[in-house]
C-alpha cells in the first residue's frame, strides 16, 4: 500500500481568488493606544512575528466569555504575523491576508482562504466569527504577564480577545534556520549514546528537490538522528519524507546534538508491509 502526498511545489489550489490587499510593514509605534490599560503598548512587527499568538481569553462587552471562539480546546485559534501578512490557523479553513497598524488599530485587508467545508457546524462558523472581528479594525496592544507576552484585540463592539505568545523556533533558537528534506526509514533503531540509554532513534538521510519538486542528485548517507524532530511523531512501519527546518544550537552542553529539527510538513508517506 502506497500513499503519496507530494506537496512540492506547494500550491493552494483550493483558495479563494480574492487577493490580499497590499500593505506596508507594521508601524513600529511604542505608545499606548487611547483607552488601553497601563503598560499596554502598540506592538511592532518584530514582536508580532516572533511568536505564535494563541487565543486564551475572549469576552464580550458585558464580560461574558465568547464560547463560540473556543471550538477545539486542544487547538486554539492562532494568529501568525510575518512580512506584513497575518495568518489565522486552527479554524475550519486556513486564512491569510495583508495587515498594517494605523493609530493603534489592526487593519487587515481582504483575506484569502481555503474553501473546505467542515462537518462540525461550530468549527465551520469559526471562520466568519474570527474573520469579522479582524476586519473591523480592532485596537491592538501588547502587555506582559511575567515573561510571557500577551496580545489584546479590542473591537468597537466591546469584544476583547487575548492571545498568549508562544515563541517561534526562530525566537527560541536565536535566528533563522535552514530548510532540509529528510527521508525517514520505516523502523527506528536502538541508539548507542551515553545520554540516551535504551532509546530508539530515527534512521534518516538527506534528500534534495529542485524548484519543480523533483528529486535531484544522490541522497545522503543513512544515519541515526540523536534527537527528536519537533512536531513529528513517527509511526512504526511508515516511510516518510519530511521537510524540516534545521537550527544550529549555538550554546549547548558537551556531548549533545549540534542542531535542532522542526517539522514543516510531510512530503511523502508510504506504509511499508513486510
Enumerate the β-bridge partners of residue 247: 260
Contact 97, 109 (CB under 8 A): yes
Spatial separation of the C-alpha atoms in residues 230 and 262, rounded to whole Å: 5
Q: Answer yes or no: is pLDDT of 175 > 80.
A: yes
Question: What is residue 191's predicted lDDT score, i.e. its pLDDT?
Answer: 85
User: Taking a C-beta distance cutoff of 8 angstroms, is the pair 143, 45 a contact?
Assistant: no
The dihedral formed by the CA atoms of 80, 83, 85 and 88, expressed in degrees to the nearest 10 = -20
Max CA separation in the chain (angstroms)? 66
Q: Is 129 helix (H, G, I), strand (E, B) or coil?
A: helix
Percent of the chain with pLDDT over 70: 84
Is this structure's pTM higher than 0.85? no
CA distance 246 to 236: 23
All domains of the chain in start order, with CATH: 11-27+39-167 (2.40.128.270), 173-271 (no CATH)
The mean of the pLDDT values for the chain is: 85
**Contacts of residue 210, Cβ cutoff 8 Å, sequence gap at least 6:** 216
Q: What's the pLDDT at 274?
A: 63
DSSP letters of 50-84?
TEEEEEEEEE-TTS-B-GGG-S-TTS--EEEEETT
Residue 265 pLDDT: 93
Query: Residue 256 gets which letter from DSSP?
Result: S
Lowest mean pLDDT among 98-112, 117-131, 183-197, 238-252: 183-197
Instruction: Check if the beta carbon of residue 55 is closer than 8 Å to that of residue 161.
Output: yes
pLDDT band at 194 (very low <50, low <70, confident <90, very high): low
pLDDT at 8 over 60: no
Amino acid at each position: 500500500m502506497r500513499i503519496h502526498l507530494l506537496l512540492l511545489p506547494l500550491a493552494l489550489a483550493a483558495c479563494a481568488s480574492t487577493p490580499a490587499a497590499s500593505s506596508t510593514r507594521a508601524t513600529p509605534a511604542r505608545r499606548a493606544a487611547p483607552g488601553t490599560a497601563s503598560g499596554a503598548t502598540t506592538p511592532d512587527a518584530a514582536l508580532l512575528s516572533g511568536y505564535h499568538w494563541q487565543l486564551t481569553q475572549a469576552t464580550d462587552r458585558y464580560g461574558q466569555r465568547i464560547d463560540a471562539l473556543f471550538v477545539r480546546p486542544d487547538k486554539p485559534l492562532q494568529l501568525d504575523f510575518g512580512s506584513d501578512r497575518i495568518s489565522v490557523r486552527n479554524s475550519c479553513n486556513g486564512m491569510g491576508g495583508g495587515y498594517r497598524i494605523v493609530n493603534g488599530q489592526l487593519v487587515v485587508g481582504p483575506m484569502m482562504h481555503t474553501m473546505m467545508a467542515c462537518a462540525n457546524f461550530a468549527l465551520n462558523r469559526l471562520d466568519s466569527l474570527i474573520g469579522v472581528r479582524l476586519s473591523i479594525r480592532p485596537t491592538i496592544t501588547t502587555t506582559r504577564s511575567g515573561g510571557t507576552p500577551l496580545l489584546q484585540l479590542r473591537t468597537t463592539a466591546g469584544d476583547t480577545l487575548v492571545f498568549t505568545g508562544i515563541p517561534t523556533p526562530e525566537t527560541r533558537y536565536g535566528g533563522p534556520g535552514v530548510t532540509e528534506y529528510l527521508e525517514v526509514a520505516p523502523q527506528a533503531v536502538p541508539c548507542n549514546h551515553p545520554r540516551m540509554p535504551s532509546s530508539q532513534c530515527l534512521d534518516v538521510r538527506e534528500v534534495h528537490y529542485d524548484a519543480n519538486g523533483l528529486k535531484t542528485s544522490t541522497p545522503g548517507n543513512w544515519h541515526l538522528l540523536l534527537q527528536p524532530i519537533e512536531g513529528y511523531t513517527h509511526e512504526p512501519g511508515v516511510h516518510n519524507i519530511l521537510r524540516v527546518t534545521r537550527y544550529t544550537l549555538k550554546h549547548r552542553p558537551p556531548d549533545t546534538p549540534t542542531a535542532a529539527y522542526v517539522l514543516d510538513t510531510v512530503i511523502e508517506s508510504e506504509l511499508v508491509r513486510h
